[in-house]
Structure 1
Amino acid sequence: MEKLESFLPRNVYDVEQVEKIKKLDRHILRSLLPDLLEFTKDMNWPVAPGILEILLTFPKEIVPHVQAALSSDDENWKWFILHFLIIELPVESRVHFKAYLTRVAETPTQDELAEELDEIAQEILETLHY
């Protein structure tokens, strides 16, 4: 079997590879999730929308990988994750982020305030009341 890295886009402009990735077996795709998530660090990158589409087809499996990204110190990436990924996940997946969202909404750091993460966290929290 090919190395998993060979399936990944070569760079943020490799939209052709993203289209090939979409056709891969779900088992292979599941193994690629953490690496694919890295391509959402900037949703302005040409590959990002296609990658996001793939990630959203794994609403349960993506949770631990997103939680790891949210524990990073990349507030800009967190902004993209909250605005484009978490808010689009089904409620059953969004609830796994409740503790993080609550903390950011209620006691944001200066960096989180600068990125307005508290506002989107509050918005997502309001969708969890079902």
Structure 2
Amino acid sequence: MIENIKDLIPKNKGDLSTAQKLKNYSHEDLKEIVPDLLEWLQDLNWPVAKPVSEYLESINDKITTELLSILKNNEDEVWKYWIITVFGPITQSPIIKSEIIRIAASPTKNEMIQEVDEVAKGIMNSRNWK
């Protein structure tokens, strides 16, 4: 077991060695750093985003509260875009589903500018959500 759980938060966008270690831990082990890990999904073009997103996808059913706080936040629409891109296809959460539908059906002005509504509509269509 790692001595300091914060050592599992990647230090920069190229810190792949730290990100790769995440898969060795359970949600229970890492739950206190989940918000920090989610920050690495603010841009899926960062090298570290792929291994971090793979870990978070594996525990997506346990991080609904953290995901919802990002989707309801009106400060970072690009982050919302990536969160929907990663978790929209796999979520089983009715609360996350409901927020994705809200974004698709009645997006804010900024959600439209950043095309968050478009990615939400794509998820709705691919999952046959009404």
Structure 2 length-normalised TM: 0.84
Name stretches of at least 5 consecutive residues in structure 1 with no aligned partner.
none
Q: Distance in 2 between matches of 1:50 and 1:44?
A: 12
Q: Distance in 2 between matches of 1:54 and 1:77?
A: 17
The answer on whether the counterparts of 1:56 and 1:88 sit within 8 Å (CA) in structure 2 is no
Alignment correspondent of 1:122: 121
- C-alpha distance 64-118 of structure 1, shift in aligned 2 (>3 A): same
Q: Distance in 1 between matches of 2:20 and 2:5?
A: 16
The answer on whether the counterparts of 1:42 and 1:48 sit within 8 Å (CA) in structure 2 is yes
CA deviations on 1:18-39 (whole Å, 9 max, x unpaired) are 1122223442133332211111
Alignment correspondent of 1:65: 66
- C-alpha distance 128-65 of structure 1, shift in aligned 2 (>3 A): farther
Give the secondary structure class of the aligned counterpart of 2:13: coil
- C-alpha distance 8-108 of structure 1, shift in aligned 2 (>3 A): same
Name stretches of at least 5 consecutive residues in structure 2 with no aligned partner.
none
Q: Percent identity?
A: 31
Deviation at 1:129, TM superposition (A): 3.9
Q: Distance in 2 between matches of 1:24 and 1:10?
A: 18
CA RMSD of aligned residues (A): 2.0
Alignment correspondent of 1:89: 90
Q: Distance in 1 between matches of 2:45 and 2:23?
A: 19
* Number of aligned residues: 127
Alignment correspondent of 1:13: 14
> Where in structure 1 do 4 or more consecutive aligned residues deviate above 3 Å?
none
Q: Distance in 1 between matches of 2:120 and 2:14?
A: 30
The answer on whether the counterparts of 2:84 and 2:100 sit within 8 Å (CA) in structure 1 is no
